[in-house]
């Protein structure tokens, strides 16, 4: 994106249109040339508000106050309409990053790629080899609807950016970020954009709580209209009913803090070395009395609000008093203008390609018109020249040059020219024949790279799937029950033998996985399961969707006397719970108990099948009978028991152990959000 001399950043919010005009000053600073704040007659989300009419009116008023004919424009879109995904990339050459990101985007974006506009940004911490990529997307129809108002007002943006990313650009440029992690909160009318940021990277989430939630709470508590409740909210600290007002808004305060704590907790679980330094809040809703103090007390962190933009001074044309009054509302517009000046950390752009091409075409139209006139003039000269050339070629038509036999001869003709003894036509034919031979050779050499490209794509798939398989195996590993007490803490054979002395084998809460097999299915909903699985457990996925999955078959063993019941209620339930977490890139859907019974040893040729007992109940796996065999212990080991019928660690007979076969489906998509009833 070429740097413009002056740039407008326009944030079209629910309550008002906010705009800032910047230009570059000395020492990597900016100058605020102009600003504008146009409040809508009604909040756009109110039931009786004509959204399109209000937006058109705001843009018309903005254009009547400001001349933008010579300025570039960067437009913001709401954070709740954009998708942000972050992933780590394997160490690869820089030229291969776009191809890998394209694969990742296809996996991470839950829509058809033709339906979205997307871009990406790479981040790398100083001194660290890991490369992180942020993938940002928005549905094409939402962008078109948002930009339609600007198109009708004859405003042509050079870039479109998400609100949270614009806030990060503003904070990064203006020095709001500390050396450690800083939490940025942009509290708007309907939503709060949470940005957990460092100088090198960031993570974002949109929380569906904003200023309107506080207004709705007051309207319900005091039975007021929305406009009257809005006025009451802004005058809460001076009202004689301040205590009742804050009491009515208290549940919204609590919900906001709870959502923020959840998001911060999730981020901390994936970034273990995170140390949050402070919270910086912007947004018009942050003017709400008591909000800053409440957040500081409940988050246990310093909460700040900027009093000015440190790296952007007001010029003579900007009114300082009006700007300071609305400063918190200008964060997004400020970040948009910073990006337009090429001073932002984030440079991704969600402007649709067709609009960008139209903009470039309009700028180059005068140049093309002049070029067309030159071509028309040159055409006449060429016509006369062609007539003379055709006569010369006809004179030498009978003269045929020798055909080059290999690339070396062709290059000799190209480099040194054909024989001067040939006619002009023959010389031209010699050059043409040489060029055709070299073109065929180029096509042959180009085809030799197909295998290498196919192998490269296979390596990319292997790298991506390798990390996925590791994460799936981690879910299985953390679902294996750990016995309480010394047995669960034992690490060596000696410690195990000492611990089992106090716990009979049949009472141990242990599961041993003997075999695990994975098989990829391109669409799990087309896979036909064996009749023996009827009735199958209930699925949480969409039966009409095309879902790639990994089918896992595992054989496990337990000494616990409650056998099937213990496996079902402890191990299998843990597989479901641990495998159904959001933003893992996969989730466990159905878990099947296929078969089971006593371990087959040389002393027991047959076993009772779980399939024949009443183990299917509840979600497909219910309680079963208990072990009625006699307990075994290390002291009672028979000397004549074959080694393969003994526990390899404790040397106990495994004849009374239970053995099971479990199947499970792992869907290779993020866990779907379930709407609350």
209: pLDDT strictly greater than 50: yes
pLDDT at position 626: 38
**Alpha carbon distance 411, 400 (integer Å):** 19
CA 54 to CA 4: how far, in whole Å?
A: 30
Give residues with Cβ within 8 angstroms of 405, minimum separation 6.
none
Q: Taking residues 468-482, what's their average pLDDT?
A: 89
Lowest mean pLDDT among 14-18, 276-280, 353-357, 645-649: 353-357
The two tokens of residue 670 are 């993020």
| Residue 330: pLDDT band with limits 50, 70, 90 | very high
The CA distances from residue 440 to 296, 436, 451, 465, in Å, are 72, 6, 19, 39
Block residue for tokens 């000799």 = 412
| Of the candidate ranges 333-342, 587-596, 632-641, the one whose mean pLDDT is the lowest | 632-641
pLDDT of residue 615: 36
Type and span of the H or E element at 430: helix 424-447
Q: Tell me the whole-structure pTM to 2 decimals.
A: 0.56
φ/ψ (deg, to 5) at 223: 55, 55
* Residue whose tokens read 């903009």: 359
Short-list 16, 9, 15, CA closest to 66 = 9
Residue 1: which of 171, 186, 201, 169 has the closest Cα?
Answer: 169
Query: Quick one: which H or E segment has residue 134?
Result: strand 131-139
Q: Looking at domain 180-302, which CATH architecture does it have?
A: 2-Layer Sandwich (3.30)
Q: How confident is residue 630, by pLDDT bands cut at 50, 70 and 90?
A: very low
Helix (H, G, I), strand (E, B) or coil at 182: strand
| pLDDT for the residue 282 | 93
Question: Quick one: pLDDT at residue 610?
Answer: 47
Residues in contact with 447: Cβ distance below 8 Å, sequence separation at least 6, in sequence order: none
- pLDDT, average across residues 353-375: 64
Tokens describing residue 633: 């212990």
Could you tell me the pLDDT band of residue 434, with boundaries at 50, 70 and 90? confident
For residue 1 the two structure tokens come to: 């994106």
Counting beta carbons within 10 angstroms of the beta carbon of residue 117, is it exposed (0 to 12), middle (13 to 18) or buried (19 or more)? buried
Is residue 632 predicted with pLDDT exceeding 70?
Answer: no
Give the span between the Cα atoms of 204 and 155, in whole angstroms: 29
- Per-residue pLDDT at 180: 86
Question: Token pair of 447, please?
Answer: 């085809």
- Residues whose CB falls within 8 Å of the CB of residue 140, separated by 6 or more in sequence, listed in order: 114, 115, 116, 117, 352
pLDDT tens column, 525-544: 887 766 555 456 777 777 77
47-94 confidence digits (pLDDT tens): 788 889 999 999 999 999 999 988 999 999 999 899 999 888 877 788
Q: What is the mean pLDDT of the chain?
A: 82
Q: What is the pLDDT of residues 124-148, one digit of tens each?
A: 877 677 788 999 999 999 999 999 9
């Amino acid at each position: 994106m070429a740097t413009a001399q002056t740039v407008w950043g326009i944030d079209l919010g629910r309550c008002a249109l906010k705009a800032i005009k910047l230009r570059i000053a000395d020492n990597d600073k900016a100058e605020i040339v102009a600003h504008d704040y146009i409040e809508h007659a009604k909040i756009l989300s109110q039931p009786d508000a004509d959204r399109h009419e209000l937006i058109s009116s705001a843009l018309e008023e903005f254009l009547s106050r400001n001349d933008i004919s010579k300025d570039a424009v960067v437009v913001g879109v709401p954070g709740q309409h954009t998708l942000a995904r972050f992933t780590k990339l394997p160490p690869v050459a820089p030229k291969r990053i776009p191809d890998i990101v394209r694969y990742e985007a296809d996996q991470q974006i839950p829509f058809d790629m033709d339906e979205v506009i997307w871009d990406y940004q790479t981040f790398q911490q100083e001194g660290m080899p890991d490369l992180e990529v942020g993938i940002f997307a928005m549905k094409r129809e939402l962008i078109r609807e948002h930009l339609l108002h600007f198109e009708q007002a004859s405003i042509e943006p050079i870039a479109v950016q998400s609100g949270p990313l614009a806030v990060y650009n503003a904070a990064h440029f203006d020095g709001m970020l500390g050396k450690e992690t800083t939490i940025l909160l942009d509290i708007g009318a309907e939503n709060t954009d949470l940005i957990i940021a460092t100088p090198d990277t960031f993570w974002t989430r949109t929380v569906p709580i904003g200023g309107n939630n506080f207004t709705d709470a007051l309207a319900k508590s005091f039975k007021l209209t929305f406009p009257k409740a809005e006025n009451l909210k802004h005058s809460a600290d001076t009202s004689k009913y301040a205590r009742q007002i804050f009491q009515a808004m208290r549940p919204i305060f609590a919900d906001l803090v709870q959502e923020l704590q959840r998001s911060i907790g999730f981020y901390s679980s994936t970034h273990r070395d995170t140390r949050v330094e402070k919270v910086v809040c912007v947004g018009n809703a942050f003017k709400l009395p008591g909000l800053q103090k409440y957040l500081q007390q409940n988050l246990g962190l310093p909460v700040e609000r900027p009093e000015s933009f440190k790296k952007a001074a007001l010029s003579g044309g900007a009114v300082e008093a009006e700007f300071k009054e609305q400063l918190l509302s200008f964060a997004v517009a400020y970040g948009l203008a910073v990006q337009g000046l090429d001073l932002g950390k984030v440079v991704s752009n969600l402007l649709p390609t067709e609009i960008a091409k139209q903009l470039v075409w309009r700028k180059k139209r005068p140049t093309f018109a002049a070029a067309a006139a030159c071509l028309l003039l040159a055409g006449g000269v060429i016509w006369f020249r062609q007539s003379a050339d055709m006569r010369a070629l006809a004179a030498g038509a009978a003269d045929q040059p020798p055909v080059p036999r290999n690339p070396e001869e062709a290059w000799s003709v190209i480099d040194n020219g054909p024989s001067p003894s040939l006619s002009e036509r023959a010389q031209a034919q010699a050059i043409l024949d040489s060029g055709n031979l070299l073109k065929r050779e180029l096509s042959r050499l180009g085809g030799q790279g197909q295998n290498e490209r196919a192998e490269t794509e296979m390596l990319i798939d292997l790298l991506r799937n390798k990390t996925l398989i590791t994460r799936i195996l981690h879910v299985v590993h953390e679902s294996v029950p750990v016995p309480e007490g010394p047995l669960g803490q034992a690490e060596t054979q000696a410690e195990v033998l000492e611990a089992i002395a106090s716990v009979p084998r049949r009472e141990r809460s242990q599961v041993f996985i003997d075999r695990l097999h994975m098989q990829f299915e391109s669409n799990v909903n087309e896979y036909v399961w064996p009749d023996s699985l009827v009735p199958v457990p209930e699925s949480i996925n969409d039966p009409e969707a095309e879902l790639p999955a990994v089918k896992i078959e595992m054989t496990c063993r337990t000494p616990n006397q409650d056998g099937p019941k213990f496996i079902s209620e402890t191990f299998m339930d843990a597989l479901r719970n641990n495998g159904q977490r959001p933003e893992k890139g996969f989730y466990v859907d159905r878990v099947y108990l296929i078969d089971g019974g006593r371990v087959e040893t040389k002393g027991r040729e047959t076993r009772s099948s779980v399939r024949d007992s009443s183990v299917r109940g509840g979600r497909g796996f219910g309680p079963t009978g208990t072990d009625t065999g006699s307990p075994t212990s290390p002291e009672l080991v028979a000397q004549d028991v074959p080694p393969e019928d003994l526990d390899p660690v404790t040397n106990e007979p495994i004849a009374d152990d239970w053995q099971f076969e479990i199947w499970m489906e792992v869907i290779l998509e993020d866990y779907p959000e379930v709407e609350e009833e």
